[in-house]
Structure 1
Amino acid sequence: MDALARDIHEPAVREGLGGHQAVYPSIAPAQRRHLGRVKVVTVVLAALAVICVATGCPGLLFLLGAPLVVCLIALARYGRAADRNEGSRLDLYERGFTSAHRGHVRAVRYADTDVLQDNIRHTYHGMTTKISYAYTVTDTTGERVTLRGGFADPQEWGPAIQRAVTVARFPQALARLDAGQRLDFGPLWMTAAEIGSGGKSVPWQQVEEIAVQDGYVKVRVAGRWNSLTMTPVRRIPNLFVFRALADRYCQQA
């Protein structure tokens, strides 16, 4: 067992995270490979620019300027990203996960954490160019940590963490509601009788559907959609638990 694996294993055992299920390594090696390809292109463009200056071809030099600048920016960007993600690693366990970043390992238990999800789809002329991933969780010390796309396959580990947190927290949340308690999800709240935000509420019997539209939680009542709050979903903790509970009470009503 290498040093990093040992540093990860110890807090996982100490915090009782259970059996190991999956590992997602850092994307730094892939970023460095891409960095190497960009370096080659940059050198070629720079050499052509020198030739243009030497042979007196300002027109061609002008055409080479823009892609050369783009490559220089890419070199700086990918270089910083690779350095930032070097040595990172995400390990999923039965009851939680560990996040290793810059020599520091954090442990998170699914049953105790809150999750804030802020995934952004970047588009250009209607086409998706990339998706930025960010999941903010609470570790076992009570501190918040944000997991980003520095680990491989965020489209896998992000939903996996959300599902695991929902499975772990749903039974207790449902029991509290059935016992007559109120649960708060940021600005949103619910009881076994109604759902609301602030002083505004709707009885479950009147709720036809709850959905996320345009980044906000909306409730359909009498065929019309209404926003309970103007707080975006990226600031609503444990949105998946909220949705699971809401769906259950909608069906019961």
Structure 2
Amino acid sequence: MKKINCLCVSFIAMLIFLISMNGNFANAQENNSTSTSGDDSYEELIDEGIIDPSVSKEQWNQFKAEDKYYAEQQEKEEIDNPGNVSDDGNGEMLRSSKAKFSLRKGDFFYTNATDSKGLTGHNAIYVGNGKIVEAPAKGHKTRAQSFTTWKKNTLYGPKGPKKGKWIKVYRPSSKANGNKAANYAMKNFEKKHIPYKINGNIKSKKYEYCSKLVWQSYYFGAGKKSMASVNTPVILHPSNLPGTIKGTKKVHTYKK
């Protein structure tokens, strides 16, 4: 009887030990995953020169979490309000997919047809004469190019989703503000060729990234009163750019 009791006690002790070890292993795996995945991503982007050290790791992780939310909202908007909507030039919305649409200076774009380092979306601004101005990506400086060429490369290029690519056109309520923003973009970004980098000061003109370029075109070109909010973001999400400029509405969608 004593022998049986000893065996039972030994078995229970061994079982408790195995459960404890398994729990510790699981916790170690979880802690290792949590501690390395975000750190490696951030450090890699710093080393590659995509992020400036003025952006903290905490700010970048928060940006990535928010970026997913805003991108999902953009996708939802396109489902709820599909791209057969155009502006007739007088502010009236036309629901016909065959409605004539013309770009206007100061119109800016958000597209889902691009991705980089787990982030989705890109912005550019229309400056007239068939041209857009943008901050493309690491290794490229701010530039102007043909809208037709940019649209074709964006919708039919290899980046972004394989299906459901689109470019949304946003327009502020003030035509004058749009003109001023476009003129600022041409003067300061088309000819000066500022290098690409994501930094923690959206008003800084040392580096540019896509949403920051458009934001600065309105903030500095059209003035603070053209902005929807007095609060300035640390890093601006491409998908959240329309919400920062006063009176902005989606007026058209180009689709593949």
Q: Check whether TM > 0.5.
A: no
Higher relative contact order (CA 8 A, sep 6+): 2
Give the structure with the higher percent strand: 1
TM category, shorter:
under 0.3
